[in-house]
Amino acid sequence: MKISFSLLAEQIINDEERILKELAVEKSLCDITSNIEGLKQFAEAFHFIRYDFCHLNFIVGERCCTNEFLWEGIAKNLYEELGGKSGQSHNQLYRDFLASVGAREEDSLKEPAFASLFNRALQTYCRQAPLAEALFTIAIYEAFDIPDYQLLLRVVKQADVSQQGLRFFQLHAVANHFEMFEDVVAWLRKQEGGESAFNRAKEFVFQTQTEMWRGLIAHLQDKTTDCCI
């Protein structure tokens, strides 16, 4: 399936792919998930990387007040999170993944320290940064779906995850939700100081995302080492 991207989306995707390669994320995760305990640890830890994203949309959406032009992309994004017209919610798809690998149910999971730092940084930025930067942050993270989830799909496939468990990753690996925000991103960048605001948001997002990948891998390596002792 060929996906069409804008030049801006392609640039963001290429930058993220470069970071993923530099950090050797795919090799590390493939090594970790090559046994069932490592796969369970990954499923449980990654839950906390993706579960808070709807909350971030609500935080930024509230700041848009009655300006429907600004919150249109957020509204569409949340609709997709619910599964659109006929699909299952993304939360349910991830629950299916947890169940498919024999991981614990989400209510019994404890948020790792690295994930707590990641989520707290995003929440604080979405609340306290200028609104344009907060909107840019949500949009840029949506562009990460393609490179991140295509990589993660390869990881879980090599771990022989069942078709039911793969659906969450398959859906996100072809998601182009960045396009929902392109009109507002283009308009905000044209406003006074807009390009500088976009660059600040992009720097924050890439720095935060890079630290997340490092934290995830270190956490999983510690967990899997403990399991082997």
The closest alpha carbon to 219, from 96, 36, 49, belongs to 49
* C-alpha Rg value of the chain to the nearest Å: 17
pLDDT digits (tens, 9 = 90+) for 25-49: 999 999 999 999 999 999 999 999 9
Sign, CA dihedral 99-30-157-140, equals: positive
Other beta carbons within 10 angstroms of residue 151's beta carbon come to 19
Say what percent of the chain tops pLDDT 90. Answer: 86
The architecture CATH gives domain 7-222: Up-down Bundle (1.20)
The answer on pLDDT for 228 being more than 60 is no
**Percent of residues in the chain assigned helix, strand, coil, to nearest 5:** 80, 0, 20
DSSP-derived letter for residue 175 is -
pLDDT digits (tens, 9 = 90+) for 112-163: 999 999 999 999 999 999 999 999 999 999 999 999 999 999 999 999 999 9
pLDDT digits (tens, 9 = 90+) for 65-93: 999 999 999 999 999 989 887 789 999 99
- pLDDT category, 52, cuts 50, 70, 90? confident
The one-letter code for the residue type at 96 is D
What's the pLDDT at 176?
Answer: 86
What's the pLDDT at 226?
Answer: 61
